Amino acid sequence: MRIEFEGTIYDYDPADVSIAALIVIKDFTGHGYESWIKSFDDLDPRSLQALWWLMRRQNGVVETIAAVPDVNALALLAAFTKAVDDAPAPDVEADPTDPTAAPVAPPTGATTPTPVVSEASTSSPSPTSAI
């Protein structure tokens, strides 16, 4: 997604977070990934600083999380929220284990597979079949 903040557009991919970045975020904020994201709504200052750090990091700015310049927290959160709201919905296939999911039709021209019978299964009994 693209976040426009302070006159700059940042490409931000919430799925492109390295283990090293997650460790920095956890050490700095005390939150794992999911609770870190949820903490934005509480305006957790360390969480918003980590977001700002990660946005900059994903756009080539290499700095420690403590060295990230101070910005307006509400403006950062508003820019992030707008980008989330404007992002296209991901293509998600139905969960095949969900009993409420609509059935998925097979692709056009698809046929039901025919079981293959091997020669070994049609020949004489195996030595272990009598046991």
Give the whole-number percent of the chain exceeding pLDDT 90: 66
The C-alpha atoms of residue 53 and residue 29 are separated, in whole angstroms, by 12
Segment 71-87, tens digit of pLDDT: 999 999 999 999 999 98
pLDDT at res. 62? 94
pLDDT at res. 94? 54
Residue with tokens 């310049």: 69
Whether the per-residue pLDDT at 68 is higher than 90: the answer is yes
Mean pLDDT of 103-121: 49
What pairs with residue 5 in β-bridges?
Answer: 8
For 33, 34, 118, the CA distances from 38, given in Å and listed in that order, are 9, 6, 55
Segment 83-106, tens digit of pLDDT: 999 988 776 665 666 665 555 544
Whether the per-residue pLDDT at 47 is higher than 80: the answer is yes
